Amino acid sequence: MIDSILQTAVANALKKLYGIDAVSESIVLQKTKKEFVGDFTIVVYPFVKQARKSPEAVANELGAAVKEAVPQIVDFNVIKGFLNFSVSDSYWLDFANQVADDDRYGIKTAKDDEAPVVIEFSSPNTNKPLHLGHIRNNLLGWSVSQLLAANGRNVKKVNLVNDRGIHICKSMLAWMRYGNGETPETSGMKGDHLVGKYYVEFDKHYKEEVKGLMSKGIEEEQAKREAPLMVEAQQMLKRWEDGDKEVRDLWEKMNSWVYAGFDETYRKMGVSFDKIYYESNTYLLGKELVQKGLDMGVLFRKEDGSVWCDLTDAGLDQKLLLRKDGTSVYMTQDLGTALLRQKEFGADQLIYVVGNEQDYHFQVLKIVLGRLGFDWADKVYHLSYGMVELPNGKMKSREGTVVDADDLIAEMEATAEEMCRDRGKNDELSAEEQKELYHTLALGALKYFILKVDPTKTMLFNPAESIDFNGNTGPFIQYTHARIRSIVRKAIGEKGIELAQPCKAVTVNDKEREVIKLLHDMPSTVEQAAAAYSPAMIANYSYELAKAFNSFYQDTPILRESDPERMRFLVRLCNSVAFGLKNMMSILGIEVPERM
């Protein structure tokens, strides 16, 4: 690739001209800004002091040396301390020929024999269905997994289901009190939606009890603790941890409803896992680690029997690890799960995709694991992301103000169908093909809209904006791919174009060169995005590639080109863009249709 050739040539020139030792990989190449002439730019200011010359002099001397050493460089120019190189058309044509037949271009092969990156995402609670917040988590976790794999990493996708705890007991207790034996079959509801209904029901009655206690003069915090429903839920949790058969049987029944519902939603989203862990199977190992910490003296027990870790020397506070009644907290099971996971996978890295409201939690997890003597604690990495908000504000599960994932997907499928019918984009498809297309477009819109935003930022989700066929959206890129595939089919079927042979010398114009240069950027974009754990970089790159292609397509009558060799070059270039878009969108978990 010309960028690595340039880096090496500049490093050699620096050594020869000024005696400066520079590692070629450290030479920073930038794309030349559009207002200047050139393809690649090097900023020479870092070398000026050692060279003892002006920035312009250093740039001109480096430019002349590199041009002489690299035949692909046809010219250079200097703007103050910026050295701009122009690459020959023959290089861009050779590159276009190299990638035209590579349907895996930009994607490295994962090395399955290396220590894996274990990435945890989803991590739902079994007291409610997956909602919009879970969608961002799942899509981000899946996409980062695909991104790391595309960069050659061995990736294992895992899910930790929070299937026990006080929140689960709330749904169970409310179902016992107010459910009258209702089941998914009798209600016609998905199991996760049914259980979520009773989580909301608990909160409604609990608030009434708190209000009643406060009317008797009891302070709010005390009323919240002493409300009969909350007391009974806590007793139920203790009975669960003690193995009470009645509680355990109800727990298993209601969780089975939820798992069936989760599986259906995961299928709709196109998400799957290599392994699923359950908190009910890991919290006991966590309790053993807490006891180990007590024995080691790195944890302490308070007078009420609760166990804590003092983190004040790390600039934090004291963290609860076991309640006074001996029941565990989230940190307890996370300690156990981390140890179990590391033993099973021997991971090179343990990545947790969890919202930024849990930043403190993962700071603590890493520190406590280290204090317990695990030298792999520094492999823990919290991929923190911002929350998803709606135009009317935040969502609250207990108040029933969430947007369920299933409902959102159904709504977007309906919108995709309406837009396709209005634009006449499905007339040639069968009913089954149309249904599949609507789902593909709906998921493409949803995934792209969420993933194009930097993960660290809080985002506002607007379904109407996400499914537009114009602008920086998934459907725009999907439609671009379908358009390209139509061109290629017509070129082969109607024009008899043979794509297998490389093209001979043809003239490459500015818009074609821009498309080729963007294709050239694809491998480095994947590397940079993987290093930053940022699918947003892939999404926005895909948009730039689709946009550049459409600009080229509008100015170029591809199938009316009179020169057969040039037509073949144009069609092969189209084919390369189709491969590139398909590969980049696959990293985002988005399918691109062959026809629209």
The C-alpha atoms of residue 91 and residue 575 are separated, in whole angstroms, by 19
Residue-wise pLDDT tens digits, 147-205:
999 999 999 999 999 998 899 999 999 999 999 999 999 999 999 999 999 999 999 99
Residue-wise pLDDT tens digits, 559-592:
999 998 999 999 999 999 999 999 999 999 999 9
The C-alpha atoms of residue 487 and residue 461 are separated, in whole angstroms, by 34
User: What mean pLDDT is predicted for residues 107-114?
Assistant: 89
Residue-wise pLDDT tens digits, 3-52:
899 999 999 999 999 999 988 888 889 999 989 999 999 999 999 999 99
Residue 395 pLDDT > 70: no
Token pair for residue 314? 């790390």
User: What mean pLDDT is predicted for residues 206-216?
Assistant: 96
Does the 411-587 domain belong in CATH 1.10.730.10? yes
Residue-wise pLDDT tens digits, 257-313:
999 999 999 999 999 999 999 999 888 999 999 999 999 999 999 999 999 999 999
Degrees to nearest 5, angle at CA 57 with 56 and 60: 85
pTM of the model: 0.90
CB atoms near residue 102 (< 10 Å): 14
Bridging pattern class, strands 318-322 and 307-310: antiparallel
Question: What class has domain 2-87?
Answer: alpha beta
The three-state (H, E, C) secondary structure of 22-83, written as one string: CCHHHCCEEECCCCCCCCEEEECHHHHHHHCCCHHHHHHHHHHHHHHHCCCEEEEEEECCEE
Residue-wise pLDDT tens digits, 302-361:
999 999 999 999 999 999 999 998 888 889 989 999 999 999 999 999 999 999 999 999
The three-state (H, E, C) secondary structure of 233-293, written as one string: HHHHHHHHHCCCHHHHHHHHHHHHHHHHHHHHHHHHHCCCCCEEEEHHHHHHHHHHHHHHH
Residue 398 pLDDT > 80: no
Residue 121 and residue 353 in contact, taking contact as beta carbons nearer than 8 Å: yes
Residue 340 and residue 283 in contact, taking contact as beta carbons nearer than 8 Å: no
- Ranges of each domain in the chain: 2-87, 121-389, 411-587
Name the burial class of residue 536, with classes exposed (0-12), middle (13-18) and buried (19+) by CB atoms within 10 angstroms of its CB.
Answer: buried
Q: How far is CA 25 from the centre of its chain?
A: 28
Degrees to nearest 5, angle at CA 218 with 307 and 239: 40
What confidence category does residue 392 fall into, taking pLDDT thresholds of 50, 70 and 90?
low
In 59-190, which ranges are E strands?
Answer: 73-79, 82-87, 117-120, 155-161
What dotted CATH number matches 121-389? Answer: 3.40.50.620
The C-alpha atoms of residue 228 and residue 241 are separated, in whole angstroms, by 20
Token pair for residue 501? 């042979």
